[in-house]
Amino acid sequence: MRPALHLPGHFGEWLQGRLGPDGPVVLVTVAAPELGLEAFYRPRRGLSVQGAGLSPERARRFLARLGLRLQGQVVLRPCVAPGLGTGVSTASLVALAHLAGWEGPPEVLAQACIAAEGASDPTMFAAPDRLLWASRQGQGLGTLPRLPRYEILGGFCGGPARTVAADTRFADIADLVARWQRAEDLPSFAALASESAARCTALRGPADEDVSALVAKLGALGWMRAHTGAARGLIFAPGTVPAGAEAVLRGAGWRGVLRLQGGER
């Protein structure tokens, strides 16, 4: 089978937490189009779905919410194992919708994802990192500034931790969101991401994590993490990752070391 679709993923979050002590869980995703998953499709009678932990029964219920049907063999191959913070769950549902012919607005697709699993990443949108995303409601709460060009040297530290929709035990980041909306340069964005990551680690663990030591050793501007999951990354200005940095991260126990680039200005 040849891949029919590539669905983009993400790599943790720049920010994630409560918008006020009793507010909704919101996030600013780190877009990673090269991650996500490949969807393979072969027409046939009935529906068979393999990979990404998605059963045919759940797939049919999701498609029915969109008024769609699909017959054939679907194989989903994530670029990174599920549960590590790269959006595999959302990408698998979006893949099904597109294979079934979905051409509607991303807002409707997001609501179907929420109905199916209670939480969603905003990767069905063209510029997901410009949304202040309410991940348990499946809607954007505002438009955010364009990010400057950046490079992330990242990897995975720890085991899988799937998102639980009822889990709202996150730090209050209302102040960070307000400052993010006013930030203008990469050091400012990196400092805010580092603070969000540190608040999450202080509340949710792991207790022995000290990415700040790696930041200092490699001269990064800051760090970010999957607030649920194992993705971790150091934030650099483009072209400033020092030689040998990958080996340093591997020596610190990071797996699957990779580089991501993004930003618009």
User: pLDDT tens, 91-118?
Assistant: 999 999 999 999 999 999 999 999 999 9
- pLDDT for residue 4: 86
- This prediction has a pTM of 0.95
Burial 54-91 (b: 16+ CB within 10 A, else e): beeebbeebbebbebebebebbbebbbebbbbbbbbbb
Give yes or no for residue 2 having a pLDDT over 70. no
Per-residue pLDDT tens digits for 73-84: 999 999 999 999
- How far apart are the C-alpha atoms of 33 and 22, rounded to whole Å? 32
Q: What is the DSSP string of 138-173?
A: TEEEEE-PPPPPEEEEEEE-S------TT-----B-
User: pLDDT at residue 53 above 90?
Assistant: no
Give the orientation angle of helix 211-218 with respect to helix 186-204, to 10 degrees. 150
* Beta-carbon contacts of residue 161 (< 8 Å; ≥ 6 apart): 83, 85, 228, 229, 230
Which domains, and CATH codes, for the chain?
3-142 (3.30.230.10), 145-262 (3.30.70.890)
Q: Report whether 42 contacts 153 (CB < 8 A).
A: no
